[in-house]
Amino acid sequence: MYFQMTYSKDRPLSIGVLAEETGCKVPTIRYYEKIGLMPAPIRTEGNQRRYGPAHVGRLGFIRHARELGFPLDRIREILALGDKPERSCAEVDRIARDQLAAVEARIARLTNAVIGYMRIKTLTSLGTAICVWALLRWMGVDFAVLWALLAFFFNFIPVIGNILMMIPAVLLALVQAGLGTAAAVAAGYLVINTVIGNVLEPRIMGKGLGVSTLAVFVSLLFWGWLFGTVGMFLAVPLTVAVVIALDASPHTRPLAIMLGPDIRGIDSKGGIRDDASQEKPSPPGSDSTR
């Protein structure tokens, strides 16, 4: 039942060797013993722990289950079923289906977040284009529709796009009407990009995707530094993916809540739960399986 790992050594293992055999840290093994997932090992005359093949197999199963995202209470249920082989395997199937539903729910949530981001970005780009068209028509600059269309597409490129969209219109205004009009057009672009790009867009994205406004700003800097222009373009979807991944574990859920105050956790059955009902995390560092 425990999907025992290959184990060729007959002699008992110390806790350090067991950690090397299974890839678990020593504090993790002690924690599993403390909460009853691992049976108590035999003790030497010097009161040192000694583990056998059964411990290796059981710990290996726990580690792989944790890698698949199973919470500790579900692992406990599966181990209890393994200790009683006369019981039906239907319970194990139910637990596996619940975990699969939770994973599918997180994938659907990430997909919806990315679609929501593109929808919001499209709407803000459309708003930018309309404002640019109105500005250029008011200032009497030719080809206002063309420059508005250019602004729509360039708005999808963070930071640099706000600069590139204004260059052709400003240069045309300079040639067509002089320095004063060109300066006024440049100022108008600056106001439009500041209001829509730096005020409205981060606030709308934060509310629409469950990510705080501060996290949106920080993510632009971090992902832009890490991946360049592509990272800045994908900053919000990548941050949402990180938030969802952090929310999957009770130990990292506080970080997810910090990045997205409106985050709503997904329970082990794939349902949605409020923050108040989320399971309490184990002691820090106690459940690391690496």
Q: Residue 25 in contact with residue 19, Cβ under 8 Å?
A: yes
3-state helix, strand and coil shares in percent for the chain, rounded to the nearest 5: 65, 5, 30
**What does the pLDDT look like over 97-145, one tens digit per residue?**
887 787 788 778 778 877 877 888 889 899 999 999 999 999 999 999 9
Identity at 2, one-letter amino acid code: Y
Q: What is the topology classification, in CATH, of domain 15-97? A: Multidrug-efflux Transporter Regulator; Chain: A; Domain 2 (1.10.1660)
Alpha-carbon distances of 227 from 234, 237, 238, rounded to whole Å = 9, 14, 11
What pLDDT sits at residue 4? 42
Instruction: Give CA–CA dist 240/235, Å, rounded.
Output: 9
Upper half-sphere CA count for residue 95 (Cβ side, 13 Å)? 20
Domain extents for the chain?
15-97, 104-277
pLDDT tens-place string over residues 139-194: 999 999 999 999 998 887 766 778 889 999 999 999 988 899 999 999 999 999 88
Predicted confidence (pLDDT) per residue in 223-242, tens digit = 878 887 777 777 777 887 78
Q: Please tell me the distance from the alpha carbon of residue 289 to that of residue 32, in angstroms, as a whole number.
A: 11
| Side chain identity, residue 287 | D
Q: SS3 of 3, please?
A: coil
- Cα distances from 183 to residues 48, 175, 187, in angstroms, run 79, 12, 6
Burial label, 16 (beta-carbon count in 10 A; 0-12, 13-18, 19+): exposed
Are the beta carbons of 95 and 58 closer than 8 angstroms?
A: no
Mean pLDDT of the chain: 77
Q: Which residue in this structure is represented by tokens 């290996």?
A: 60
Percent of residues, the chain, with pLDDT higher than 70: 79
Average pLDDT over residues 23-43: 86
CA atoms of 224 and 90, how far apart (whole Å): 48
138: CB partners within 8 A, 6+ apart: none
Range from 151-160, 201-210, 253-262 carrying the lowest mean pLDDT? 201-210
